[in-house]
A = this chain, B = another copy of it.
Amino acid sequence: MATVNLRDVATLAGVSVGSVSNVLNRPGTVSQDVSQRVLSAIDTLGYVRNDAARQLRAGRSRCIGLVVLDIANPFFSDLVRGAERRAAEENLTVLLGDTEEDPARERVYIDLFAEQRVYGLLVSPLGEAMPRLRALKKQGLSTVLMDWHTEDHQFSSVAVDNVAGGKLAVDHLLEMGRTRIAFVGGPHSIRQVSDRFEGARKAVAQHPGATLEVIDTQSLTVLQGREAGHRISQRKAAARPDAIFAANDLLALGVLQAFNLSGRISVPNDIALIGYDDIDFAAAAMVPLSSVKQPSTEIGHTAVDLLLREVAAETDFEPERIVFQPELVIRDSTSAQH
C-alpha cells in the first residue's frame, strides 16, 4: 500500500511537483489548464496530503492542543465548545486530550502536543505540570492556562475566581441559617478544589458559631459524590452537617442520589445542598440544585483569544490574566428554612 504522494500526482498530471503544490496552496498563480489536470489527477489517485511533511516544512501545525481534566464534566465540554468555535473562526482545529485528573496522562498529552508542534496549548493543569510547561515555553510553545495562574505572571491565563465562588456558596448557606457546613470534594491537589474550599473557609471564619467539616473524595465525579453521600447518610442524624457545599455539581448530584436512595435525608429540609458549575443537569435534578455559575463557554473562547494574541505577538509578549466572576444560582436545594 504505497501511499500516493505529490510526485505521483505531478507525474500523472504531467507537471512538476512545484506546480502541484501551487495548485494546492496558491490557486491564483496557476493556469486553468494545469490546475484542471492536477485536480483531476488528485481525484483519480485519491491523493491525501501528508500533514507530517507539510508541518515539517512549516515548523508549526494548525492545531491547538486542549488538555482538560474531565470531558465527562459538562463544565469542560462547554468550555471545549467555546474554544472550538473561536478556533474554527481562525481556521484552527482543536485536538482534545482528556486526562481524567491523572498527572501521568496529563504529562503524556502535554508532551505529545509539544512534539506535534501544535499552534499552542490550552491547559487546565494539575499542579505537577507547571515545571514542564515552563520548560516548553522556553522552547517556544505558547500556553494559556485555564482555571490556574502563576504568581510570576509568566503565563496568560483565564480563570474564574474560585475563592470568591466558594465564599459565595457558603455565605449563602450561612444566610439561610445553616451552621454545620460540610465541604465535599477532593483531591485538594486540584486547584479548583482547594480554592473553592479556601472560599468556604473564609466564609465560615467570618461567621461565629459556624463550623466547617471536610469530606474527602478521590475525584470530582457523580460516583464519588454518591459514595460521599452514602457515608454521610450512615451517620446518626445529630452527627450530620446541616448543609453541604460540593466542589462541583457532579459530586452534588451524586450526594443527592445517595440521600434519595437512603430515604433518610431530605434536601433541603434536613440538609441544604449547593454545587458548583451550574451544569444543565443541575436544574433538572430531583431537587433542583443551587449552584455557582461559571461562564464556561466564554472561558474556552477567551482562552483561544489569549493564545492567538500571544502567538501573534512573537516576542516580548506581556502575558494577560483574565478573571471572571462567578455567580450564585439559587434553587430549591437551599431554599427551605429549617
Interface residues of A (CB under 8 A from B): 1, 3-4, 46, 48-56, 59, 61, 63, 71-72, 74, 77-78, 80-81, 84, 88, 93-98, 100, 105, 108-109, 111-112, 114-117, 135-136, 138-141, 222-223, 250, 253-254, 256-257, 260, 280-281, 283-288
Contacts and interface: CB of A to CB of B under 8 A. Distances in A.
Contacts of A105: 88
A234 to B, nearest CB: 20
B84 A98 contact: yes
A217 to B, nearest CB: 15
A284 B253 contact: yes
Contacts of A3: 59, 139-140
Contact of A117 (B52, B71, B84, B96): B52
Contacts of A46: 135-136, 138-139
A266 to B, nearest CB: 15
Given A1-B140, A77-B71, A81-B72, A50 B285 contact: no
A256 B140 CA distance: 50
Nearest to A283: B257
A3 B59 CA distance: 9
Contacts of A111: 48
Nearest to A254: B284
* Identical subunits present: 2
Given A3-B139, A51-B116, A222-B280, 5 more contacts: A48-B139, A71-B71, A93-B97, A256-B284, A257-B284
A141 B97 CA distance: 22
B95 A48 contact: no
A280 B285 CA distance: 11
A286 B3 CA distance: 55
B288 A117 contact: no
Contact of A96 (B56, B96, B138, B256): B96
15 contacts: A1-B139, A46-B139, A49-B115, A51-B112, A53-B56, A54-B115, A71-B77, A72-B77, A77-B77, A96-B96, A223-B280, A256-B284, A281-B284, A281-B285, A284-B286
A330 to B, nearest CB: 16
A95 B96 contact: yes
A91 to B, nearest CB: 10
Nearest to A261: B283
Contacts of A260: 284
Contact of A288 (B49, B100, B286): B286
A112 B136 contact: no
B81 A93 contact: no
A71 to B, nearest CB: 5
